[in-house]
Structures are given as structure tokens and as C-alpha cells.
């Protein structure tokens, strides 16, 4: 007898091109199963994945994301659909008892398929975003050995790629309900197979007579969130030929420390389900007093409960089970009268949105939990609180949403409409959306059921820069209408209005009902709210422009984009040597035009200048000499650009803006624009510029007014705080030092404090550094730290070129904690070129624990200069070690000698792997790595704690290295 539950079929798959297989599906799954061999067309398949992912894995085609190799792969427009029509084959074991039932589940296929199981044929209809569940109880073999073959067909309208490329190619893909980016975009190459394949989870699920289908969970609140109700509705299907007498159970638990959980609720209901019928059942609401709430990143903890639903059938026992992590939270959204922008509230608290646009993690749909975990943690590490899933990409998968639930990222999920493919472009696209409107709505409704229980899901949006056709839009507005409870103020009586129709009484009976639907990304409080093209801009900007009154005049910008050059190691790893040539700087009139090499052009490089408006930001640091120099200077610009963008928006929090989403956070391929980490998962400096600017409590410099500002996005007032502002010149001298004490900042406010007067003083230096620290006066702990490099108006940073020759000494104390394959390094990095003055806050500042750093108490880090350094260093590590039960390999001290006094500028850690058989020029980086900070600078006498964590591949010895603006070569620190 098989165990009740789901088994994922994610290994052991084979694939072959259909035109090379001369057997029928019946033959493949009965008498002539395939095998891999030199004389067969079969190869190991990537499932979940796509045809192209399988071909790349087997080296049948080159890596399309390397150099210009994508141009060598035949496009479906030239090959015909048959070329990318593929068989996929696997076997599975499942032996049923006489009363058990088995479903074969495909969570998504692109685009349609024929399924053969043990010689029996089933057809999976069209649509990339729909689930398929086949009852195969009567087909599985009694001996348990089963043969499965799936013939997958590409989209019906794969289209062709015009010579000049363009947004969505010739737009034909828009006639299907599928991803629209696959014909290429101004940030993406064409995907040759149009993502054909079994691209999402395949599973089998064993049940008894009764099956649980698509439960819906909703929470409601009363008495200022002291009272909460959990509403739950589920469908139940009786697959047997007899009436099923059922005990239906719902259990809510929360994890405690160790391996224990607390049962918050356990409820059992009894019901009868007629033979062969499908019914909907709504549980009596479950009451909770002061539940732990789920909060977005930066607002509080992401508290999650486990909700389990099981059904027992009399005479059989447990028949089916379902479970889901659930967060108690309420999301509200409305157009703000002050700004005209859409304002979001979570649990009654307004949240200033700072986030990014998301395409998908990989253009070949090689999706994985591990990749999603890294992607979403990166967004949380940048202090973002929202991700927008762009309409030309995916309806993201439950695993994506799971990690958004864990890390507190609100999600804006769009359906599959984009303006370029649905109504405009060259050639002009079909304005009426996909050809099959019923299919679109079927996929949309199924997507809602798949994702609606995730607390991170904040809103549904009809499309990108376009609204769906009228009939689809009308249907979505109706299907996704809010339950009356979420439309108006709370009912003081604590119950839903009894005279409402029965369907209105419980919100879990709605398709969704608890979050809004907006018809398009530039409507109803986004951009100008009317659908006009008022998002953007998408190029490099002068940093100070983000602070100007006329930069962007609408309350919520859903897309504003800029540069995204990765580090030089990524260029070398993803391009042949001819792609390592840096752009030519061509003088045109009074500005320089960047002329990139053809490989950069193909990878959608965006220049660091904007003709007539923004002089080249890389040339501000002097002409780059080579690839390393160019990429390092690009990181300086990346950091400044994105920090200024977010600080400019945050400077006008609630007075002009309600939020901003950056276009875009990442690349689904090895692109060269709009990203905070590259496709190999190495972060750009822009990542850390965002991390700095978007911290919940932040001190910043307004680059137009030169006012020091304090941003408080939390719900608590800041009181008894102070700002220390110190200016450092290139000689290591501090010509300006000012402390502003006894400050207070109300919650949810940005407050100007005082003007930073250094540039107006006598004889200001052309280039200088500014360090701002916001600290608590009671214990001198740093709440926010912000480091700027600045030049006088009309100047540049070319004096920094000679500063690279400075040799500033550093001391790095480190300790590694190892658990399995995970390495976690804690270090204290100190600029030892000069002891801090006893009057300066640097002498006694500590770093306050940041929200989310629950496993690393950086509050216990001390920078001491009393002659007992060793003692304090040991004390520091004893304190942090209390937070770990991991094996440690001891304390280490690395010193980088230097004779100069000055700022240790733009320090950058990286992690490399040493292994036997290393080849010359091979990329040695271990990726991904999570850093508490990187691309940071230290003034004389200053110390900073850094935490680094990473997985070590088998057979590799990790090495942490440091470089920086004035640190060249390889400095091994551990």
C-alpha cells in the first residue's frame, strides 16, 4: 500500500527530439522504453526545465548566455516547431491498494502535451500557466512499475525575430498564453525554443476515497489586531462509488525552539460526500487572540503558522492531507490624497515601498529552491520590501513565494499582458491580447488558486504598461473583487454582516477577496494613474537630480532604471577575450559617447553617459586603463547611482512619493544593464548602495540642499539620538567635524536636521570623504552609518586616481564557524592608520544590531584603543560565539601593512575556491556569498564588523580575499 501524499518526479528523465524518435507513445511506455546510448537520440533531461536547458546540459548546443553563442543556435522561427517538439520519458514506482487513487500532476507545461502512461494516452490542453491533474488510478500497473512518456509541443505562435530585435520580437507570442520576453527585449536575447518544456514540478499524489483540493485561507482582524479569525474553505472530491462519511480536520501550529511545535487550534468537522461528487466546505472560523503577525521586511518579524487540513474517511482512515505556511496579516491599499500615489498599509501601518522589478531567475527556466532562496534573500539583504513580477515573465512559482514569505518581500504579481506585445510596437502588435480569452482567464484563475495563500502576495495587476482586453479585464475585476470586509472599515461587532448573501459571509469562499486587483502597472495610483507612459527614466542620472523637485512628479514610480555593469571576473567568465575590450570613449560635441564592443552590445550594455544630459560618470574618475579598471570604476558609479536614487525618493517620503520600484534587480541571463547581482550571483556595488539607502532607519545627505536628513520608516519615535558628521581629505586630515545632539524623529517621517556646511567653508578640498553616523546618545551605538565620496560642484573625482597609491594599514580579526558545507565568517576590519581622537564618536561607537541579524550580535563589537586590544578581541569573539553551536577553527589575525594615514577606500571582499586541477584563467569565485556589507570604506581609527556566509563545494578549499581602491593584488584574509 502506497503512502498517502505527494511524490515529486524530478530525476531520471530522458529526452529526445520527436523527429528522431520513430516509436509511438504507446510503444515507448509498453514494449520499447528508451535508453541513453551512442546510437539513440535520447539524452538526460532537465525536468523541471526546458528543451533548450536539456540541450545545453548535454552540450548539444553551446551555452546561449556565453558571448555570442546564442546566435549559433537555430531559432524556432527558422527550424519550425517540430525541431523543438520533444519527448520526455521517465519511470516511477507506485503500488496502490484496492481503495487508493493516484493522480499524475503537471504544475505547468509549455505549451501543450500528449501524455502516455503504460500505453494509455491523455491530452494536456494548451496554456503555459495552468495545472494539469490526471486520475491514473486505472492505468498504473499492479506491480508498481510505471512508464511515463510526454510529448511536449512549443507555443502555437512562436513568432520570428526581426533583424533589429525589438520588444517581444514580432509580437506573435502574445497570441498565446505564455511568457512574452522569449522573443527578446531591450534587456534580453531571444530564447530559441521559446521556453518549450515541462518547466515546473511533476508529481504523483496518492489519496484515499476523498481528495482535498485548493484550500483557501484568509485572516480577518478586530480590536486593533488583538482578535483575529482564520477563515478556511476547501473543495473535497469523493472519487469512490460510495457515500463517504468524513472527519475533516484543520490544525494550526507554530514552531517553538528545538523540534517542538505548539498546537494553536485543532478542529474536526463531520460531513457526508455523495459518491463521485465534488463539494465545497467552509470551516467555522477559528479565533486567535493576539496572534503573531507577519510583517514585511524592515517592519517586524515574518511570523508564520502551519495550517494542516486532513480528511479521514470512515472505514478507510486518513484519505488526504494538505499543509501550508500561513501569515496573519492585513494588506490595505488606496490612492493617497497628498501624493496621488498608491499607498500600502500592512497591519494598519503605512509602508514606504522600496523594491525592484523581477523578470525570472533564469531564462532557460532552470528554477530551483536553492536559487530562489538566494534570490529572495538578496532582495531582503538590500532592505527591499516589494518585488514586482513583470507581466512579460512568469506567474511565479510557489517556491518563489515561499521565500518571499520567509524573508518578508511583498509581491506584486502581474498577468501575461505587456504593452509592447499587446497593442503597440513595430510591427504593431495585436491589441486584443491572446487569441483565446477563455484560456487566459482559465490560467489566471488557476494561478490565483495556486498562490493566494501566501502572505507575501500583495496585489494582482492585469498587465505591464497595458491593460487586458475589455472582456478579460472585466472578468478579472469581478473574479478578484474584494470581500466587503476588506473594502471598508472593520465591523465592530466582530462578525460579518448576517443579512449578506451566503457567498459573502466568509471571505475564504471568494477566489481571492483579500487583496486588490489593479488593471495595469501605470493605472490607479501608479505612474500618472491614467496609463500614459510616465514610468522611467531608464538611463544613468546625475546623482543630485534624484533630489530635485522636477525629477519625477508622480507619487509611485513602478519602473525607474539605470546601469548595472558587473565585476570584471563575470565578464571574463561569460565572454571570450574579444568581449573583454572596454568601450571606446568617442568625443562628440561636449560629451563622450561610449562605443561598446559587439559582445557587450549583444548583452544589452547600457552606457554610463546620457548624451547632452549626463556626462560620462566613469570618466569622472579618469580614463579606464583596462577591464579591471573599467569595472572597478563602474562599481563606484553603481554604488552612488542607486544610493542616490533611493535616498532621493526617501527624502520625499509621504510628501511627494509613496514608493518606487527599480527596473530591474536582476538578470535572467548574462546581461549588462539594470541589475544588483549578475546571473552568476555576484553582487554589484549597487547592491550595497541600495542596502545602505533602504535601511529602516537611515542618515543621509540631500545632494541638492546639503541638509543632513534622518529617515525613520519604523512605527517607533527615535529620541535622544545624535548625528556625527566628519569630513576627511585625501591626506587623512579631518577638516570638518560636527555633532548634532539630542535629536528626535517621529515615526514614518523623513526629517531635515541641519546643513552640512563644509563645502561652503574656506578652502574646501576638490575631493573629500564624508562619514555620517546616527547613534543613540545613551550608549553610543550606531544605528545608521553612511559614507560618501564627494567633489565640489562642477568638479570630478580624478584626484582619486593618485589616491590609489596610498598604503593605508588594515587589521582584520576573523573567525570561521563551520557546519557541514556552510562556512560563516565573522570579522572585525580596522583602519589602523591612526587612533581616533578621544573626543570623536568613532572612539566609542558600537554597531547596533540590525533587524534580521538575529544570529550575529554585532552590538558586542568594540573598537578599543586602551592598550588591551588582544583582551578585547578575545572578549568580542567569546560574545559572538555564544550565538553558535558550530565547530570553529579558531581566531585569526591578518594585517595589511601601510605607511600612510587616510581612508581605506572602497574595500571589497570576495571568496575563492582552491582545488586540484585548477586551470589557468578559470573563474575561482565561490558564489553565491552573503555579506553583511561590502564595497565599504573606513576612516582612520574606524573598525567595522562584517559577516560572510557561503556554501563550500566538495573538494574545494575556500579563501577569502580583500581588495580595494588603494589595495591591489590579492590580500588573503582567511
- Active centre residues (catalytic): 465, 559
Q: Residue 138: CB partners within 8 Å, gap ≥ 6?
A: none
Q: Which residue has the cell 546561449?
A: 64
> Quick check: 87 and 16 in contact, CB under 8 A?
yes
Alpha-carbon gap, residue 201 to 399, rounded angstroms: 11
One-character DSSP codes across 909-972: EEEEEE-TTPPTT---B---EEES--SEEE-TT-EEEEEEEEEPPTT-EEEEEEEETTEEEEEE
| Nine-digit cell string for 549 | 523637485
Q: Smallest Cα–Cα separation from 693: which of 559, 785, 815?
A: 785
Cα torsion angle, 660, 397, 571, 962, sign:
positive
Write the CA distances from 280 to 235, 271, 275, 413, integer angstroms: 4, 11, 14, 27
Using DSSP's 3-state secondary structure scheme, residue 76 falls into helix
Q: Which residue has the cell 546625475?
A: 542
> Could you tell me which residues are beta bridge partners of residue 150?
88, 115
Residue 849, φ and ψ in degrees, nearest 5? -65, 130
Write the CA distances from 616 to 316, 411, 542, 603, 634, integer angstroms: 74, 35, 10, 20, 11
Which strands sit side by side in the sheet containing 943-951, from one edge to the other? 887-896, 810-819, 822-831, 943-951, 929-931
State the pairing for strand pair 331-335/342-346.
Answer: antiparallel
Using DSSP's 3-state secondary structure scheme, residue 185 falls into strand
Q: Which residue has the cell 460531513?
A: 271
Cα three-residue angle 115-119-120, rounded to 5 degrees: 55
Q: Smallest Cα–Cα separation from 640: which of 700, 719, 597?
A: 700
Give buried/exposed letters for 492-527 (b at 16+ CB in 10 A, else e).
Answer: eeeebeeeeeeebbbbbbbebbbbbbbbbbbbbbbb
> Could you tell me which residues are beta bridge partners of residue 123?
114
> Could you tell me which residues are beta bridge partners of residue 87?
16, 151
The alpha carbon of 252 is separated from its chain's Cα centroid by a whole number of angstroms, namely: 28
Report cis status (omega within 30 of 0) of the bond before 537. yes
Alpha-carbon gap, residue 817 to 871, rounded angstroms: 21
Q: Smallest Cα–Cα separation from 86: which of 27, 133, 21?
A: 21
| Nine-digit cell string for 806 | 596610498
Write the CA distances from 391 to 187, 252, 337, 357, 433, integer angstroms: 15, 35, 28, 10, 12
How crowded is residue 357: how many other Cβ atoms within 10 Å of its Cβ?
A: 25
Q: Smallest Cα–Cα separation from 686: which of 675, 696, 697?
A: 675
Cα three-residue angle 374-380-384, rounded to 5 degrees: 135
| Nine-digit cell string for 17 | 527530439
| Helices of type H across 559-672 | 568-574, 598-602, 627-651
Q: Smallest Cα–Cα separation from 537: which of 525, 552, 526?
A: 552
Amino acid at each position: 500500500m502506497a503512502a498517502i501524499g505527494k511524490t515529486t518526479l524530478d530525476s531520471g528523465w530522458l529526452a529526445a527530439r520527436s523527429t528522431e524518435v520513430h516509436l509511438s507513445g504507446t510503444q515507448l511506455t509498453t514494449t520499447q522504453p528508451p535508453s541513453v546510448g551512442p546510437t539513440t537520440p535520447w539524452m538526460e533531461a532537465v525536468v523541471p526545465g526546458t528543451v533548450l536547458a536539456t540541450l545545453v546540459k548535454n552540450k548539444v548546443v553551446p551555452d546561449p548566455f556565453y558571448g555570442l553563442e546564442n546566435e549559433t543556435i537555430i531559432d524556432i522561427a527558422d527550424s519550425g516547431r517540430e525541431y523543438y517538439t520533444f519527448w520526455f520519458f521517465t519511470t516511477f514506482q507506485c503500488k496502490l491498494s484496492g481503495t487508493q487513487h493516484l493522480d499524475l500532476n503537471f504544475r505547468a507545461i509549455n505549451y501543450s502535451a500528449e501524455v502516455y502512461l503504460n500505453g494509455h494516452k491523455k491530452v494536456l490542453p494548451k496554456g503555459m500557466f495552468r495545472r494539469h491533474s490526471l486520475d491514473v488510478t486505472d492505468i498504473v500497473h499492479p506491480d508498481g512499475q510505471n512508464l511515463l512518456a510526454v510529448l511536449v509541443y512549443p507555443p502555437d505562435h512562436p513568432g520570428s525575430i526581426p533583424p533589429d530585435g525589438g520588444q517581444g520580437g514580432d509580437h506573435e507570442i502574445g497570441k498565446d498564453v505564455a511568457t512574452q520576453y522569449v522573443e527578446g527585449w531591450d534587456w534580453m536575447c531571444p530564447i530559441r525554443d521559446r521556453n518549450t518544456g515541462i518547466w515546473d514540478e511533476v508529481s504523483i499524489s496518492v489519496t484515499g476515497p476523498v481528495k482535498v483540493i485548493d484550500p483557501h485561507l484568509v485572516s480577518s482582524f478586530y480590536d486593533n489586531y488583538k482578535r483575529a479569525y482564520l477563515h478556511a474553505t476547501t473543495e473535497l472530491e469523493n472519487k469512490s462509488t460510495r457515500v463517504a462519511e468524513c472527519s475533516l480536520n484543520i490544525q494550526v501550529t507554530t514552531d517553538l525552539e528545538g523540534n517542538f511545535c505548539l498546537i494553536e487550534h485543532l478542529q474536526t468537522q463531520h460531513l457526508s460526500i455523495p459518491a463521485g461528487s465534488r463539494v465545497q466546505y467552509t470551516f467555522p472560523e477559528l479565533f486567535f487572540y493576539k496572534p503573531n503577525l507577519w510583517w514585511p521586511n524592515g517592519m517586524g518579524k515574518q511570523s508564520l503558522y502551519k495550517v494542516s487540513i486532513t480528511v479521514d474517511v470512515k472505514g478507510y482512515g486518513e484519505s488526504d492531507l494538505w499543509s501550508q505556511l500561513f501569515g496573519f496579516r492585513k494588506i490595505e491599499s488606496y490612492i493617497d490624497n497628498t501624493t496621488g500615489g498608491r499607498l500600502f498599509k500592512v497591519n494598519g501601518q503605512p509602508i514606504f515601498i522600496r523594491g525592484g522589478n523581477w523578470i525570472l531567475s533564469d531564462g532557460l527556466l532552470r528554477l530551483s529552491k536553492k536559487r530562489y532562496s538566494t534570490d529572495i534573500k538578496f532582495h531582503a539583504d538590500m532592505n527591499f520590501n516589494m518585488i514586482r513580477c513583470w507581466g512579460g515573465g512568469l506567474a511565479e512559482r510557489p517556491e518563489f513565494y515561499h521565500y518571499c514569505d520567509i524573508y518578508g518581500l511583498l509581491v506584486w504579481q502581474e498577468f501575461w499582458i505587456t504593452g509592447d506585445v499587446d497593442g503597440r510596437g513595430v510591427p504593431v502588435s495585436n491589441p486584443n491580447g491572446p487569441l483565446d480569452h477563455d484560456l487566459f482567464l482559465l490560467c489566471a484563475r488557476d494561478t490565483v488558486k495556486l498562490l493566494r495563500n501566501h502572505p507575501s502576495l500583495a496585489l494582482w495587476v492585469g498587465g505591464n504598461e497595458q491593460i487586458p482586453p475589455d472582456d478579460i479585464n472585466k472578468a478579472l475585476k469581478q473574479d478578484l473583487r474584494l470581500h466587503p470586509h476588506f473594502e471598508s472599515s472593520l465591523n465592530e461587532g466582530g462578525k460579518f454582516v448576517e443579512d449578506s448573501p451566503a457567498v459573502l459571509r466568509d471571505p475564504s469562499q471568494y477566489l481571492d477577496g483579500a487583496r486588490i486587483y489593479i488593471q495595469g502597472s501605470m493605472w490607479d495610483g501608479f505612474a500618472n494613474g491614467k496609463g500614459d507612459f510616465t514610468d522611467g527614466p531608464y538611463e544613468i542620472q546625475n546623482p543630485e537630480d534624484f533630489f530635485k523637485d522636477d525629477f519625477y512628479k508622480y507619487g509611485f514610480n513602478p519602473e525607474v532604471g539605470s546601469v548595472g555593469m558587473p565585476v570584471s571576473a563575470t565578464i571574463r567568465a561569460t565572454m571570450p577575450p574579444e568581449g573583454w575590450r572596454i568601450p571606446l570613449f568617442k568625443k562628440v560635441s561636449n560629451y563622450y559617447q561610449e562605443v561598446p564592443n559587439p559582445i557587450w552590445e549583444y548583452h544589452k550594455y547600457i552606457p554610463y553617459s546620457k548624451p547632452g544630459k549626463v556626462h560620462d560618470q566613469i570618466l569622472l574618475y579618469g580614463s579606464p586603463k583596462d577591464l579591471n579598471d573599467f569595472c572597478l570604476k563602474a562599481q563606484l558609479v553603481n554604488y552612488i547611482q542607486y544610493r542616490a536614487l533611493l535616498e532621493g525618493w526617501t527624502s520625499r517620503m509621504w510628501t511627494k512619493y509613496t514608493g518606487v520600484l527599480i527596473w530591474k534587480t536582476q538578470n535572467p541571463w548574462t546581461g549588462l544593464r539594470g541589475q544588483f547581482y549578475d546571473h552568476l550571483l555576484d553582487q554589484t556595488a549597487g547592491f550595497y548602495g541600495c542596502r545602505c539607502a533602504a535601511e529602516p532607519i537611515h542618515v543621509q545627505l540631500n545632494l541638492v540642499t546639503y541638509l543632513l536628513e534622518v529617515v525613520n520608516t519604523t512605527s517607533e519615535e527615535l529620541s535622544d539620538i545624535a548625528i556625527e558628521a566628519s569630513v576627511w581629505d585625501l591626506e587623512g586630515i579631518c577638516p570638518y567635524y560636527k555633532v548634532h545632539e539630542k535629536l528626535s524623529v517621529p515615526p514614518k517621517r523623513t526629517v531635515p536636521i541641519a546643513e552640512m556646511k563644509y563645502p561652503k567653508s574656506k578652502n574646501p578640498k576638490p575631493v573629500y570623504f564624508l562619514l555620517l553616523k546616527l547613534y543613540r546618545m545613551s550608549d553610543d551605538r550606531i544605528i545608521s552609518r553612511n559614507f560618501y565620496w564627494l567633489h565640489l560642484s562642477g568638479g570630478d573625482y580624478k584626484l582619486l586616481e593618485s589616491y590609489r597609491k596610498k598604503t593605508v594599514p588594515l587589521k582584520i580579526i576573523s573567525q570561521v564557524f563551520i557546519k557541514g558545507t556552510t562556512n560563516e565568517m565573522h570579522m572585525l576590519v580596522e583602519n589602523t592608520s591612526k587612533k581616533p581622537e578621544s573626543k570623536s564618536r568613532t572612539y566609542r561607537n558600537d554597531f547596533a544590531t540590525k533587524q534580521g541579524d538575529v544570529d550575529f550580535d554585532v552590538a558586542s563589537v568594540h573598537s578599543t584603543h586602551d592598550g588591551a586590544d588582544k583582551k578585547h578581541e578575545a572578549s568580542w569573539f567569546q560574545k559572538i560565539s555564544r550565538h553558535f553551536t558550530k565547530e570553529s577553527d579558531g581566531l585569526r589575525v591578518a594585517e595589511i601593512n601601510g605607511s600612510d594615514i587616510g581612508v581605506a577606500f572602497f574595500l571589497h571582499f570576495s571568496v575563492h575556491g582552491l582545488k586540484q586541477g585548477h586551470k589557468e584563467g578559470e573563474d575561482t569565485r565561490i558564489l553565491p556569498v552573503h555579506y553583511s556589507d561590502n564595497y565599504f570604506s573606513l576612516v582612520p581609527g574606524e573598525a567595522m564588523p562584517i559577516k560572510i556566509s557561503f556554501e563550500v563545494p566538495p573538494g574545494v578549499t575556500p579563501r577569502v580575499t580583500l581588495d580595494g581602491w588603494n589595495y591591489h593584488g590579492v590580500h588573503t584574509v582567511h
